[in-house]
Each structure stands twice: as structure tokens, then as C-alpha cells.
Amino acid sequence: MFDAGGLYGLISSTRAYLTHHPALVRSLIFARHTYYRCLKGYNALADPFELIEIDPNNITMANREIDKYLASGAIRGGNWDRQTQPYERSLKYRSVEQRFCHEKEWEETDIHDELCRRIETEGEADGCYSISDLERRYERIDQLYKSIKEHGYDPSQNYDGADTRIETSLDQICVSIGRDGELIFCGGGNHRFSIAKILDLDAIPVRVVVRHRKWQRKREKIANGAHEIDATVHPDFQDIISQSYP
């Protein structure tokens, strides 16, 4: 029989696997793009699976309310791009900084006790179901840091042991783009992203999940030949420059 935590962990894992299954995500993206093209008249729709190169230091804010899987390819209005928090205040970033900049043991970092508590009470935290799982995860993150420091960041590598609940090629560092082109972290690869910032990497590839409706209008203008917007100044315009739109 499962205890309460073990049962919760099983339910959480099953739900995450089903709702983030690649087939479901791809179906949602196809439906969205069909709607945007046919009913909204958008032509400059970006490929939600394509990665763009960005300077990690240009991402300072985060919005963790965006589902990095189920929201893929969405174009949204509203103020979600203003409802953000400083990324470097996050628990994971602080803990990575404590580990690799201040040479603390993982057990001394801010996040350790919180993850242990969740494993004990909920049966799962960050894809870990026991303290032993958590210790192995930290060993992988140490290896991740060493690999990125010595060889740079490669998005094709499964560095830190992808969450076993979610087996999908969509599991990349994810951003969304606000109305003025601001890059907003929205989940995926927290440790990879934090390490990239700490190591001051010049560029990393990221996957764009959501674009603000006002930003998408700028993409449409460029695709339609508008000259008042400099398409070379933002990495999200590069696909438009390289393609021809009707």
C-alpha cells in the first residue's frame, strides 16, 4: 500500500506524464497554429520547436505561471509579461550560486531542506522520490557544472537527468517574450540556466513558449516588409529574416 506521500507522488508523476506527453503538446501546437492562421490571419508564426540563441544575462525576470509544455506556441495579450519576479531571487538560482560560487555543500544550500520536506510530505520533489534520489541528482548537477564550464552548453545533451516523468524533446531552457521583446524565463533547465549565468556564458539556446500579442504584431510587420523596425536587433526576428512570408 502507498502512504500519503507515495500516492501523491504517483498521481503527480502520472498527471505530469500525460499532460506533458509530446503527442499532446504537438497536437495543441498544431491546433493553435491552425487557429492563428485561419482566424487571426497571422503569417509570421514561429516554429515552437526551434531554438534561438540569446545572451543569458539579458534574462533577469521570470514568470513561473506559464506552462512550458501546454502553452507552447501561444500568443497572449494581457499583462502576464508584467507579472514577473527577479530570477536571481529564486531558490534554485540562489542554491546554485551558493554551491558553485561560495563552495557550499548541497546540504547547506537554501533549497535542500525544502526539497527534503516535499519528498517526505508529498512523496516527490523535482522528479526525486527519496533522499537517495536527491543525492544522485546533486551529483549530476555537479557534473553538469563541470561539463558546461569545460565544454560549453549543448542543448542536445541530457546533462542533469531530465525529469523522468516527462520524456520530451521540448525539455529545454524556456523563455517567453513580452510586448517589448523582453525575454522572460518561464521554466525548464533551471540549473542549466543558473549555471550559464554564473559562468557568464556569451550565448545559450532557448525555446520560446509564449509571445505577447503586441510582440507578434511586430513580427507580422517585419514579415510584411515594414522598414520602421530593425529586424537585426532581436534574436526572435532571425527566422523572419531567413524566410519569405506571403
Confidence of residue 140 (pLDDT cuts 50, 70, 90): very high
**CA–CA dist 211, 189 (Å, integer):** 19
User: What is the distance between the alpha carbons of residues 89 and 95, in angstroms, rounded to a whole number?
Assistant: 10
Q: How many CB atoms lie within 10 A of CB 185?
A: 28
User: What pTM did the predictor assign?
Assistant: 0.86
pLDDT of 204-225, one tens digit each? 999 999 999 999 999 999 999 8
User: Could you tell me the pLDDT band of residue 244, with boundaries at 50, 70 and 90?
Assistant: low
Confidence of residue 100 (pLDDT cuts 50, 70, 90): very high
- Integer Cα distance of 228 and 4 in angstroms: 59
What is the C-alpha to C-alpha distance for residues 62 and 4, in angstroms, rounded to an integer? 32
185: left (phi over 0), alpha (psi -120 to 50) or beta: beta
Which residues are within 8 A (CB) of 72 and not within 5 positions of it... i.e. 6 or more apart? Answer: 25, 28, 29, 48, 170, 209
Q: Are strands 183-185 and 174-177 parallel, antiparallel or unpaired?
A: antiparallel
DSSP state of 83: S
Question: Please, are residues 70 and 28 in contact by the beta-carbon 8 Å criterion?
Answer: yes
Mean pLDDT, the chain, whole residue set:
87
> pLDDT tens, 65-86?
999 989 999 999 999 999 999 9
Within a 13 Å sphere around the CA of 234, how many CA atoms are in the beta-carbon half? 18
Provide the 10 A C-beta neighbour count for residue 213: 15
Instruction: Tell me the residue length of the chain.
Output: 246
Q: Among 157, 168, 172, 245, which residue's Cα sits nearest to residue 207? A: 172
For residue 108, how many C-alpha atoms fall within 13 Å in the half-sphere facing its CB? Answer: 8
Residues 78, 223: Cα–Cα separation, whole Å? 23
Report residue 166 as a C-alpha cell.
Answer: 516527462
User: Taking residues 31-55, what's their average pLDDT?
Assistant: 94
- Within 13 Å and on the Cβ side, how many CA atoms surround 222? 23
Q: Give the model confidence (pLDDT) of 32-43 as tens digits.
A: 999 999 999 999
- Each domain of the chain, given as residue ranges in start order, spans 4-241
